[in-house]
Amino acid sequence: MRAAVLGTGQTHHAARRTDVSMAGLCREAVDRALEDSGSTWDDIDAVVVGKAPDLFEGVMMPELYLADALGAVGKPLLRVHTAGSVGGATGIVASNLVRAGVHQRVLALAWEKQSESNAMWALSINPPFHMPLGAGAGGYFAPHIRAYIRRSGAPNHVGAMVAVKDRRNGSLNPFAHLRQAEITLESVNSSMMLWDPVRYDETCPSSDGACAVVIGDQAAAEASARPVAWIHATAMRTEPTFFAGKDHVNPQAGRDAAAALWQQAGITDPLNEIDAAEIYVPFSWFEPMWLENLGFAEEGQGWKLTEAGETRIGGRLPVNPSGGVLCSNPIGASGLLRFAESAMQVMGRAGAHQVPEAQRALGHAYGGGSQFFSMWVVGAAPRP
Amino acid sequence: MTDTMTEVAVVAFAESPRVRRNDSTTNGVEMLVPIFRQLFDTTGLTKDDVGFWCSGSSDYLAGRAFSFVTAVDAIGAFPPTSESHVEMDGAWALYEAWVKLLMGEAEIALVYGFGKSSAGLLRRVLALQLDPYVQAPLWPDSVSIAALQARLGIEAGLWSEKEMAAIAIQRRGLPESVEDLLEQPFVADPLRKHDCAPITDGAAAIVLATGARARELCERPAWITGFEHRTDSQHFGLRDLTTAASATAAARAAIGGNVDVAELHAPFTHQEILLRNALGLGDAVRISPSGGALDGNPMFAAGLARIGWAAAEIHAGRAGRALGHATSGPALQQNLVCVMEGR
Amino acid sequence: MALPLHAPLEISFDYTRSLGPTLSRFMTGLAQRRIIGSRDSTGRVHAPPIEYDPVTHVASTDFVEVSATGTVLTWTWMPRPIEGQPLTHPFAWALIRLDGADTPMLHAVDAGSASAMSTGMRVQVRWAAEPVGSIRDIACFEPLSTSETEPGGEVEPVTMVTTPIRLSYEHTASPEETRYLYGLAEGRVLAQRCPRCRKVYIPPRGACPTCGVPTTDEVELPDVGTVTTFCIVNVPFPGQRTKPPYVHAAVLLDGADIPFPHLILGCPADEVRMGMRVQAVWKPREEWGFTPQNIDHFRPTGDPDAAFESYASHL
């Protein structure tokens, strides 16, 4: 059965949304998604909530206490947690409920209110019997970035170029946390080296934010007065965090997920057939790394697309026209934001960061130790 | 999905020993490896035959962010697998897998839930499920919350301490009489020790399969004919605590006829009576022959195990139709019903 | 075989919760020794207020003050209070419907003994000495008496609450990891080989991540290896154990099939290289325990760097 995104909503993301409670943050996104999709509360058959670790907010399974605020009382309520990929997984689980014919219209919500605690703390809790080396996500991923640079021979400025592009794109997005129209290569390169080789300006912020998407069946999509985003394909793949021979730079799980995705979407040449891509890039260098992992470029060649400017709006493959994770990172929501932004592109509702005439777009998320991947392809028209 | 509804069945189930404390790590690997092996031995499957994996567990139970991540080592998840996780009891992971099989995206799914309940002070950890502004800062523990519910039902005449004690004797095979048990001190008035599920470390796992594959793998598959879940409000003033509207709604949507046996996820004796009423189960229905959660309550696995035990009744030919129930949240806030039949 | 090792794991953080309009109203009220509830679309009054209407789902806007006295709807007795609860001596938990409200709040009642508790009993708030705008401004409830506390004067609006959450866990090492930890306590590096894929894992695993079976055959490794990749941590953060800057590296011990994370010291951070040969520097024997921290750090051996190909498949 077919399914489509009927509408999306997101919060104004910020380091500290101290004007709202957790429920208030979620509702800001949900209310916008209901309105954008032309749905009422009664139209919603089920609610799927995604969020990263509960330790971030200090609430165990917060969707339980949020059931009233989310209009979930009397309805099925699912809570997905697949680490950083959870936002994407949330969108996929919600779409599956529709595609399986179980429900007609499902609300997917993903959120994180990181200012309730400190993500570096929560991600660096050191269990006994281990080396106390945890240094947040940056400390985890920086060595893999170093390995990418060594393997690909990419010039050092590529990471900074991604940061400049994404932050400038973010300045076009009214919801972005960081909106830096004035950022330059020089300013990125003079920012503090946090986790060598990753500089401050090449790092995602820590954000409060939420994203919601209403997914409907074919009848709901055809009845919609506004354009919808048809879901052409979805894929999720997992591999272990560490294993002998693991490729942290170009993980097999990501390659397998992409291959399955392109096949399901009927795409043989993603670089030419995808018009916009929202890719989970929490550290600038992950743009070229994921371009390769997703099959937009040969191994070791992804940085050339970035360096040539092909990933800017107007390039062959605009990547993260919304500004992406580098501009807003409410961790649990970040994946669904990628999925929602890809839908906004093909619905023609991306505003100032709209990629002209985007017909097919990719939404992508990853999580854990580059081990959980979730992705979808959406299109302005149903898949033939 | 095809035009004809895909049929999905529980074909195998395994549960780790119900113990107060096992030697496993909080990431569950040491509990999961043996039960996966048991499932593979029973079905003749290998990990490469599994098209979708799905699990349920909790970071707060383990005291670590991303505690479920290492659990995928037990799968041997390379080459990469199609896999997902819910921060809920494994019963909801089973629901996600069932949907995946209905879609035709896989033929065989392996679903697991695990919890090392002994790692922290369970009743205190569960206080963090309550409203974070006006309740959790008081640390109301989960046993006390259940006791508030138990008293409401006793005073409304819906159940009695005697009936509760009789349930404890049945489920746990206790040698004492009801009178003996009622002489025991209260843990949380009106709940006594026998009214509360033991703290249990453990894991459970189920293999789901579609149509022809199910028949190959199991002599008498437990075909899923209804699978529904709902949530209630958590606000104690916005729901009637003496029942569970979400359980009633799920049962109405899922059951469609009589069942011979029901495995109920009732961590407290009064909740078994509450659920029997809410689910509309008559006196002829056998309740929790496994002993239910009262005989062993591995958090985030016990609900999945109820479905597994209900399916086992069908596999063994002891039941034609069986119901597995799971709950989540304080005072039975969220409820799931899976109805299966043998043919 | 030694029993698996255990060790305590403490998790502690003071969460900072922003309140939004409805809860801010309630907490500000508490700071003034007043209880503010909300009226929903059906006319019911909830105290504490609820943020969204249960029927229409719109945000609550109709606030009403309710009484600090109320009626117990149900209760239980807490004979041995646990950490963080409102009282340290035995007390009752109760659902209490405040006069003027239709739905109850959950709180503690300081009643002396269970025999003093009953459904329907009348109780009143006992206020904390110095209210700050938190649910704990209600220290607890107590049986109704005639004395009343006057509400306090105006206060600044309360928009945030701080909620300390401290939890204690027992962390367990797997049997395989325990072997390795006993080895470290003797100054030995004990890995194990997967019986299926034959790869050597350090630390050993309860399940080989690619095969799903426990690692078994013990392999003693030298404390010498190659830096595969690394990062220089310059950023400070709460809970950090090592003062930045420090080099966090993946060290492929000779004979292992998976790198081992550790610190590199003994040379300036910017001289650490991929392929650098390093050796463990052990702490003095009397400081050894069941931990990889028995190795204080790895230092450069001064030998020529390993060829890229020798560690390329471990990145």
The residue type found at C176 is: E
Q: Is A40 on the interface with C (CB under 8 A)?
A: no
Together in a domain, B227 and B189: no
Cβ within 8 Å, pair A237-B329: no
How many contacts does A have with C, using Cβ atoms within 8 A?
A: 182
Q: How many domains does chain B have?
A: 3
Does B209 lie in the same domain as B66? yes
Question: Is B3 inside a domain boundary?
Answer: no
Tell me the mean pLDDT per 10 residues along chain A, length 384.
96 98 98 98 98 96 98 98 96 98 98 91 80 80 96 97 98 98 97 94 97 98 97 98 96 98 98 98 98 98 98 98 98 98 98 98 96 98 91
The answer to whether the CB atoms of A61 and B96 lie below 8 A apart is no
| All domains in chain A, ordered by first residue | 3-118+205-379 (3.40.47.10)
Q: Where are the beta strands (DSSP E) in C173-257?
A: 189-193, 200-201, 217-221, 224-233, 246-253
Q: Establish if A118 touches chain B: CB-CB under 8 angstroms.
A: no
Across the interface, of B121, B137, B237, the residue whose CB is closest to C163 is B137
Of C125, C140, C128, give the one whose Cα is nearest residue C65. C125
Domain check: are B213 and B259 in the same one?
Answer: no
In a domain, B279, yes or no: yes
Q: How far is C163 from chain A (nearest CA, A)?
A: 9
Written as six digits, the tokens of A287 are: 């743009």
Print the domain residue range for B329. 222-341
Same domain, B103 and B213: yes
* Residue B212 shares a structural domain with residue B91: yes
Residues B227, B337: one domain? yes
Whether residues B72 and B152 share a domain: the answer is: no
Partners of C247 in beta bridges: C232, C264
Instruction: Report the CATH number at residue B113.
Output: 3.40.47.10
pLDDT at C149 over 80: no
- The pLDDT assigned to B3 comes to 42
For C202-258, write each residue's pLDDT tens digit: 999 999 999 999 999 999 999 999 999 999 999 887 777 778 889 999 999 999 999
CA distance C20 to B321: 49
Q: Which chains touch B (3 or more CB pairs under 8 A)?
A: A, C
CB–CB of B245 and A57 under 8 A? Answer: no
Same domain, B212 and B71: yes
**Looking at the predicted structure, is the pLDDT value of residue B2 above 60?**
no
Is B2 inside a domain boundary? Answer: no
The DSSP call for residue A158 is: H
Q: Tell me whether residues A238 and B81 touch, CB distance under 8 A.
A: yes
CA distance C232 to A172: 34
B289 and B250, same domain (yes or no): yes
Structure tokens at A82: 């697949």
Question: H or E stretch including C97?
Answer: strand C91-98
Q: What is the pLDDT of residue C238?
A: 74
- B227-248 average pLDDT score: 97
Whether residue B227 is contained in a domain is answered as yes
CB contact A66 to C (< 8 Å)? no
Which residues, numbered 69 to 128 in chain B, qualify as contacts with chain C under a Cβ-Cβ cut-off of 8 Å?
A: 72-78, 116, 118-121, 123-125, 128
Question: Is B66 an 8 Å CB contact of chain C?
Answer: no
B182 and B205 belong to one structural domain:
no
CB proximity under 8 Å: A 55-114 to B: 55-62, 64-65, 67-68, 72-83, 89, 93, 96-97, 99-102
Q: Cβ(B57)–Cβ(B115) under 8 Å?
A: yes
Task: Determine how β-strand A193-196 pairs with β-strand A46-50.
Answer: unpaired
pLDDT of residue A25: 98
Note whether B132 contacts A75, CB cutoff 8 Å.
no
Of A27, A136, A195, the CB nearest to C52: A27
Contact B129 A64 (CB under 8 A): yes
Strand-pair category, A3-10 with C160-172: unpaired
pLDDT value of residue C64 = 98
Residue C211, Cβ density class (10 Å: 0-12 exposed, 13-18 middle, ≥19 buried): buried
B130 with B82, same domain: the answer is: no
HEC-encoded secondary structure of B185-196: CEEECCEEHHHE
Q: Do C207 and B120 touch (CB under 8 A)?
A: no
Q: What is the pLDDT of residues B26-51, one digit of tens each?
A: 999 999 999 999 999 999 999 999 99
In this prediction, residue C2 carries a pLDDT of 63
Residue A356 makes CB contacts below 8 A (sequence gap 6+) with none
Residues in C touching B195 (Cβ below 8 Å): none
Quote the longest CA-to-CA distance of chain B: 60
Q: Check CB contact under 8 Å for A60 and B125.
A: yes
For A255, the closest chain B residue by CA position comes to B80
Q: Is C157 on the interface with A (CB under 8 A)?
A: no
Mean pLDDT of B156-183: 97
Testing the interface with C: which of A65, A107, A129 to mutate, by most C Cβ within 10 A? Answer: A129
- CB within 8 Å: C197 and A194: no
From the number of C-beta atoms within 10 Å of its C-beta (0-12, 13-18, 19+), residue A60 rates as buried
Calculate how close chain C gets to A379, using CA atoms only, in Å.
Answer: 32
pLDDT exceeds 50 at position B1: no
Q: What is the ipTM of this complex?
A: 0.97
Query: Is residue B147 less than 8 Å (CB to CB) from chain C?
Result: yes
B&C contacts, CB < 8 Å = 180
Q: Are residues B98 and B207 in the same domain?
A: yes
Dist. CA B125–CA A54, nearest whole Å: 12
Phi and psi, residue C24, nearest 5°: -65, -40
Q: What is the pLDDT of residue C237?
A: 78
